Chains A and B, each alone.
Chain A
Amino acid sequence: MTAGSANHPSSVATLAEIDQTLSSVAIVTSDCARNGKTLFSKLMADLLTLRRGDAPQIFDTDFPAGGLAAHFENTSQIVDLNRTTDQVKIFDGMLNSKGEAYIIDLVARHHSKFFDIYRDTGFEQGAREAALDVTIFFVIDRELSSIQAARDIHKSLRDTRFVVVRNAAVGDALEQPEAAKLYAEMRVDREIILPDLSPVALGMLEHVDFHFDIFVADGYSQFPFELKAELWSFLETLYEQREQVDRGAAQPL
């Protein structure tokens, strides 16, 4: 399966297919910091591990700290997007890969730079030619400007699958008519809503030792029943949304 098509690729591909494709890339991004982007990247990595049986390769652009990398020490690389050598490591590495799944956790301060490189190097076309399946997951924030930033990326990269992520714990500006209009203009037919979580469950998700593949295998049997139930519910909600996305189901505003 390739990302490029005359139609928007979301209409012809499913996320289940993405998981099975030779090489796939999930770019998790946002124009703002601290809105659950790294948490979402972690969830994506866990879900991919559950589906594929092996962990995806992770590029953590939060150099030098590497927030996500701490959760996936064996499969992460902390990269500095200011360095050309690291840009080559990311983009050339993905294009030359065989059968790998990648997650790029794109720190907000490099959001513009990353997509400048993406456009300037013609990566969209390069990915198409290399049969590399790319999906951008844009976590929108609560300000109107965040929807505008999402719209700009979506507009400039028409051949790349685009999924909006709404984090219930953060909120968004979709109540505003202008924001709703912009959102509609994006013709977003795929979105994922991260349900709100209790502080305990959220703290657990953010813990470096917590992973859903271990959780599903009952690796945390000592957890209280309520916590387990909440985490199961959260996981099922995410899975269900992914299935809806797989079917191309639009989430009405």
Chain B
Amino acid sequence: MKHTVILVGADKGGVGKTTLSRALLDYLERNNVLARAFDTENPRGTLKRFYPGKAEIIDLSNVADQMKILDTMDKVSETVTVVDLKAGNLSNALEIFEKIGVLQAARDGVFDMGLLHVVGPSIASLDEMNEVAKYTNGLGYVVARNFINETNFFEWDEATYSKYFARLPNAREIEVPKLNEMAYEQVDLAGVTFSDFVANKSADGEGADFSFVLRGYVRKWMSDIDAQIEQLDMVKNIMAEKRAAAGGK
């Protein structure tokens, strides 16, 4: 089964990269797709707090850590690698990957690669899309507009956004729906996955006492974001490969 690398990034902090990474990992886990994750928020780590057994903190500028991602793909049981890129590090990471031939390898079909680019409400986010576009040829490029924290005060209007978006060949877009603030905070405080929060399980796997209402909000949000994730070609391919592999067995 061909390995898939999914980069989740933005050139700005606080736009919801890690939330989207968590939602994606959650989706894959619920669909029985083995995935591993790299948290480049070095040294503290953000994603690792929610996926201690699945995520590893790395420094993407470190060659040994780059090797951890790229030279292990055909050796691990996981078929998907999610890389949660450090805030402000998207263009830099893409430049590194281009230089060392990773992007070209993906274009050549050695493995699949997708980029989930989370954009925030500022005009700078639109310029980011232009900046990133030069690397995305031949990759699955997805612009994720994040509404999770009710980022509905986008500085740009739809027409401006559409103009920028139209310049991106083969780009897709998804929307990260809004999640009730209190529910979001409680999941964050609990340090559990969205699925475990809904299942009322604590980080150590024991029964928890999370609010029924808040769990309901998270369940609804998960259902909404699942619908967004499912429409991505990279995810469709992963699921198709999984079905094919299961059929082959």
Contacts and interface: CB of A to CB of B under 8 A. Distances in A.
A91 B212 contact: yes
Contacts of B68: none
A95 B212 contact: yes
A92 interface: yes
A121 B213 CA distance: 6
B216 A88 contact: no
B214 interface: yes
A55 B211 CA distance: 26
Q: Which bracket fits the contact residues of A?
A: 10 to 19
Interface string B199-228: 000000000000111111101100000000
A91 B103 CA distance: 50
B212 A121 contact: yes
A170 B220 CA distance: 38
Interface residues of B, number: 13
Interface stretch (B39-47, B80-88, B111-119, B178-186): B178-186
Given A84-B181, A84-B182, A84-B183, A92 B211 contact: yes
Contacts, number: 38
Given A88-B211, A88-B214, A91-B212, A122 B183 contact: no
Given A92-B212, A126-B212, A85 B182 contact: yes
Interface string A87-122: 110011001000000000000000000000100111
Given A120-B220, A121-B220, A84 B215 contact: no
A123 interface: yes
B213 A87 contact: yes
Select the residue from A92, A95, A121, A126 with max chain B CB neighbours within 10 A: A121
B216 to A, nearest CB: 2
A84 B180 contact: yes
B142 to A, nearest CB: 26
Nearest to A121: B216
Interface string B166-202: 0000000000000011110000000000000000000
Contacts of A122: 216, 219
Nearest to A123: B216
B213 A92 contact: yes
B180 A121 contact: no
B46 to A, nearest CB: 24
Contacts of A84: 180-183, 213-214
Interface of A: 84-85, 87-88, 91-92, 95, 117, 120-123, 126
19 contacts: A84-B180, A84-B181, A84-B182, A84-B214, A87-B213, A88-B213, A88-B214, A91-B213, A92-B213, A95-B212, A117-B216, A120-B217, A120-B219, A120-B220, A122-B216, A122-B219, A123-B212, A123-B216, A126-B216
